[in-house]
Amino acid sequence: MRYLTNDLAKLLGVTTNTIRRYEGSGFLKPMRDRANYRYYRRYDISKAAMIRLYIKCGFTHEEIRSMLGSTNSEIQGIFEDKLSELDRKIERLTKLRHWLKDNIQLSRTVDSLRGSFYIMTCPALRYVVYSEGGELTDDADRLETLRYFMYEAPEVQHINVFRYGDFTHNRLAPCSGWAVKEMDVAKFNMEDMICTNRCIEFYPSVKCLYGVMEMPAADIYDDAKLELARSRYLDNAKDHIAQSSLMICGDIVEFLVNALGDTVSILVCIPIKDI
């Protein structure tokens, strides 16, 4: 039985150009009839179908080409390498899925707290800052650590930290950076880095006053408006803390929840203790 290029393309649901690329890559070797038309045989259909499945599994043309003429054991080795690669991708996608779930929960927390305050425990954090008082870091070790947090630790959150000594003296200059939960350090295999890296700081698990600061996205670039919004928020929070017979006892942390919408939402955690 002979199959023309159009026949093979229809069976596989691809274009004739795809079939010709398979031929150019050496995957298929069509015969030619007396009129010089390409045609394929029954085994070519099985071979082309398997190639489509390999591509579906993520094999590149180069990887598929490496199987040509290989022994069964050699092909097993190629499959095992691809399986390990897929396992790594699945692991990373699983972490990214958790990150999305965390952000959905943060967004829901913002919705529930809007216009009110709530007392609960903030999880312990490990974080690294990229700016202090608006000045970006240019330290090579810190930049390397920042890149690790951003790209190797998928469940990461953007934070601003206001040092206790600063805001008690009415200075609202944030330290901006990236944080992971202390409970996730082992999951990301970060234990060794945590113990030896001078750039990573610790934020303890502590009782906090939670609330939400929001402002129009158009105003977030105006430093004067942003500082005014922060000052008003902190004044309201301080009043609530005083009325509850509490006091501020540590660094304030802001979590940026929504950076791309028409309104910027910031979850604010203020450490508190009884007077």
The domain that contains 20 carries what CATH number? 1.10.1660.10
Q: Does 124 share its domain with 64? A: no
Give the pTM.
0.74
Residue 83 lies in a domain: no
21-25, 60-64, 184-188: segment of lowest average pLDDT? 184-188
User: Over the stretch 132-177, which tens digit does the pLDDT of each residue have?
Assistant: 877 898 889 999 999 888 887 768 899 999 998 877 767 778 899 9
Answer yes or no: is 18 within a domain. yes
- Measure the CA angle with vertex 231, ends 221 and 270; round to 5°: 105
64 with 101, same domain: the answer is: no
Q: What is the mean pLDDT of residues 203-224?
A: 93
Give percent of the chain above pLDDT 90: 44
What range does the domain containing 54 cover? Answer: 5-69
Q: How far apart are CA 176 and CA 128, in angstroms?
A: 8
**Same domain for 248 and 168:** yes
More confident site: 190 or 126: 126
The CA distances from residue 131 to 44, 147, 162, 182, 241, in Å, are 60, 14, 12, 22, 29
Length, in residues, of the chain? 275
Q: Residue 228 is encoded by which pair of tokens? A: 């005014």
Domain count, the chain: 2
Which 3 state secondary structure label does DSSP give 118? strand
The confidence band for 78, taking pLDDT boundaries of 50, 70 and 90, is very high
Helix, strand, or coil here: 253? strand
Say how far residue 267 (Cα) sits from the centre of its chain.
19
What is the C-alpha separation between 76 and 67, in angstroms, rounded? 10
Instruction: Tell the burial category of 111 from Cβ atoms under 10 Å away from its Cβ (0-12, 13-18, 19+).
Output: exposed
Say yes or no to pLDDT of 58 above 70.
Answer: yes
User: Do 97 and 56 share a structural domain?
Assistant: no
